Amino acid sequence: MTMLSVQTAPVIIIGGGLHGSSTALHLARAGVPALILEKNYIGRHASGVNAGGVRTLSRHLAEVPLSLASREIWLRIKDWVDDDCGFDQSGQMRVAENAADVLTLRARHQVMIEHGFTHEQWIEPEEICAMIPAITPSIQGGLIVREDGSADPYRTTRAFRFKAQSLGARVIEGIQVQTIHRVGTDWQIMTDQGCFTSPVLVNCAGAWADQIASQMGEPVPLEPIGPMMLVTTRMPHFLDPVVLGTGRALSFKQRANGTVLIGGGRLAWVDRDRDWSELDFRQLGEGARTVCDLFPHMKDAIVSRGWAGIEASMPDGIPVIGPSSTESGLYHAFGFSAHGFQLGPIVGKITADLITTGQTDLPITPFSIARFQHTQ
């Protein structure tokens, strides 16, 4: 009989996407060498294939303090990970196509002011047209955060991963977690490559995170989703800020190489058990119409390719961040509902701080997994 070897680590992180790699980096900076277990390769799903929005604009009110704190890391991202991650601080703008959109954005602006947040600013139609001459002249205004921007998601995730490894973190890719049990004060994680133990476990498993949480007696109503992205062939430069829709779903930006990236939350068909996604061309057609309405010259654009990664959506649209409500030594960071990329740097710090000091300076109560205790 062959006995499986047992490996140990001070912290084990399940899931090596941006939030898992960020947690490993912040732990390594605190002198704690974590071990990441990743079932695919790092950046395979949400962290590597999203729109790359570095966005504080239009955040859920509970996310705003975290998003602003994360922006401070983004502004010094090269100091953190030895790579600028393709970060381009060109701004993000949510535009109003009609009177209803104007009311929505004006109301949002007022709410932010009432809560003491001034980073979102109203922008008049004339200034939008001056900034973006290619946009339809019927635009009626918008909200802008000039300090926002975008970055390369796969490059960013790799940078966090490699910086964490340079400081002592370990990564195993292509490993499947099977079961998790408490053995004394440690977690015992059985995988298809042997047994691992650790006193601390971090659940960063993305669209598969509910399977881990349910083993801990914390079922959550997680829905796997596949936000779709399209990219065009190269076009002459016409756009600097990222443009978002209001009444219609849209995320629209031109990259430095001239290609145009189109997203906005339109969803593919997904089967997480088979790691499979398929583009929904009807939804893509609706997205294309929105693009052409806002940017008429895009009717001549040539789509180069499309894709969708699988990620986790929560019913209230905000993630689960923080300690388990049932087990000590267990922490969660998942369910970012198609807008977790910008938060990655600060969520890793929050999780590392909770592990190493037992506290965080940022307000995370709204993200507790306990909010779902009576929804199953």
* Amino acid of residue 156: T
Q: Give yes or no for a contact between 169 and 36, defined as CB atoms under 8 angstroms apart.
A: yes
SS3 label, residue 354: helix
> 198-245: per-residue pLDDT in tens?
999 999 999 999 999 999 999 999 999 999 999 999 999 999 999 999
pLDDT of amino acid 375: 61
Question: What type of residue is 338?
Answer: A
Tell me the average pLDDT across 2-29.
90
Which residues 6+ apart lie within 8 Å of 35 measured at CB? Answer: 7, 9, 11, 12, 13, 169, 170, 171, 172, 196, 198
181 pLDDT above the threshold of 90: yes
Q: Is 266's pLDDT higher than 70?
A: yes
pLDDT single digits (tens) 114-161: 999 999 999 999 999 999 999 999 999 999 999 999 999 999 999 999
Interior/surface letters 47-68, b for 16+ CB within 10 angstroms, e for the rest:
bbbbbbbbbbbbbeebbbbbbb
Is-above-0.75 flag for pTM? yes
Over pLDDT 70: what percentage of the chain?
Answer: 98
**Using the 8-state DSSP alphabet, how is residue 116 labeled?**
T
pLDDT band at residue 4 using 50, 70 and 90 as cut-offs: low
Is residue 337 predicted with pLDDT exceeding 50? Answer: yes
pLDDT value at residue 284: 86
Q: How far is CA 60 from CA 121, 181, 262, in A?
A: 16, 35, 22
What is the number of alpha carbons within 13 Å of residue 65 lying toward its C-beta?
A: 12
Q: Structural domains in the chain?
A: 6-52+154-221+317-372 (3.50.50.60), 92-146+227-308 (3.30.9.10)
For 263, the enclosing helix (H) or strand (E) is strand 260-263
Q: Which of 96, 89, 94, 104 is nearest to 58 (CA)?
A: 94
**Half-sphere exposure (Cβ direction) of 311: Cα atoms closer than 13 Å:** 31
Two tokens, residue 315: 């019913």
Please give the full DSSP string across 34-96, using - where no structure is assigned: -EEEESS-TTSSHHHHS--EE--TT--GGGHHHHHHHHHHHTTHHHHHSS-TT-B---EEEE-
Q: Rounded mean pLDDT of the chain?
A: 95
What residue has token string 């969708």? Answer: 308
Spatial neighbors of 130 by CB under 8 A, at least 6 apart, are: none
| Residue 1 confidence (pLDDT) | 35
For residue 227, what are the β-bridge partners? 267
46 CA to centre of own chain? 7
Average pLDDT over residues 311-322: 97
Question: Does 3 score more than 70 pLDDT?
Answer: no
